[in-house]
Amino acid sequence: MTQVKNVGVVGAGQMGGGIAHVFALAGFDVVLNDIDSAQIDKAVSTIQKNLARQAVKGAIEADAEKAAMARIKTSGDIADLSQCDLVIEAASEDQAVKKAIFQTLSGVLSKDAILASNTSSISITGLAAATDRPENFIGIHFMNPVPLMNLVEVIRGIATSKETFETTKSIIARLDKTMAVSEDFPAFIVNRVLMPMINEAIYTLYEGVGTVEGIDTGLKLGANHPMGPLELADFIGLDICLAIMQVLYEGLADSKYRPCPLLVKYVEAGWLGRKTGRGFYDYAGDTPVPTR
């Protein structure tokens, strides 16, 4: 199997920063890359805060916090990933953007390096076809927030080699995460089940069956969910929810996956949830207030 010591992460958003966090904590040397320097600074600050929080809670040793931060390097130039044995793309959920990143990486990395996508819904086979190494390409989908969530979905494309899969399996074990293997179908396992539920909750609001509070309280207390579906949609990002529903709708050609018009309207308005300060809730005050 390929020996993975140096890991690159492309995209320093919430997911990319979390991925860098867990790899550095597990002893890997990490290069966190993003074209936006402000985004990199924000990610590094968040990683520091989250590691410190883990240390205070006793989840990690105090010296592990400093060691992990020392393993993380940052870069705005994708060429700086040239020595990486594995590069995980964690950019926006846009197939064209992801393919462009992988095409660039193909010309930068050694021929033995593994390419992976953290996509939550897009075809791994399709992304792999944009590279020079489909056999060394795999889906590694972390859950959000990465440092806290134990599950990692692993998705093999049609050309993914057994060696790449076995190497990935050993990496997930080293991260102390649990692996769920999914076939390469739209939205994989978790989002294939989760997103239609969220979309249906939005339809329930759209059709006036229940209020934001009624729907979320109903699922929290009636189904014992830790977070209501609309609250969860805001946490994930309504643009991400819409993108995944569109992948399901277009990929499976079934009307049950049609994105709710209200979800489309919120995204058009720029009300994307927590990251923009407003979605199904308004986060301007100390306590979130329903916007509908």
Q: Is 106 a catalytic residue?
A: no
Catalytic residue of the set 65, 93, 153, 231: 153
- Phi, psi (degrees; rounded to nearest 5) at 195: -65, -40
Q: Is 120 a catalytic residue?
A: yes
Give percent helix, percent strand, percent coil of the chain, each to the nearest 5: 50, 15, 35
Catalytic residue of the set 121, 123, 141, 182: 141
Catalytic residue of the set 120, 123, 136, 199: 120
Catalytic residue of the set 117, 191, 199, 231: 191
| Cα→Cα distances 44→52, 72, 199, Å | 12, 9, 33
CA–CA gap between residue 179 and residue 168 (Å, rounded): 10
Q: Is 191 a catalytic residue?
A: yes
**Nearest alpha-carbon partner for 106 in 122, 123, 128, 75:** 128
For residue 193, give the H/E element and its range.
helix 190-206
**Nearest alpha-carbon partner for 176 in 16, 21, 70, 3:** 21
- Phi, psi (degrees; rounded to nearest 5) at 122: -80, 145
Residues 60/22, Cβ–Cβ less than 8 Å? no
CA–CA gap between residue 47 and residue 36 (Å, rounded): 17
Q: Is 136 a catalytic residue?
A: no
DSSP lists the bridge partners of residue 6 as 29
Burial of 284 (0-12, 13-18, 19+ CB in 10 A): exposed
Task: Return the structure tokens found at 262.
Answer: 């209200």
Cα dihedral 216, 53, 37, 6, rounded to 10, equals: -110
Q: Which residues are catalytic?
A: 120, 141, 153, 191
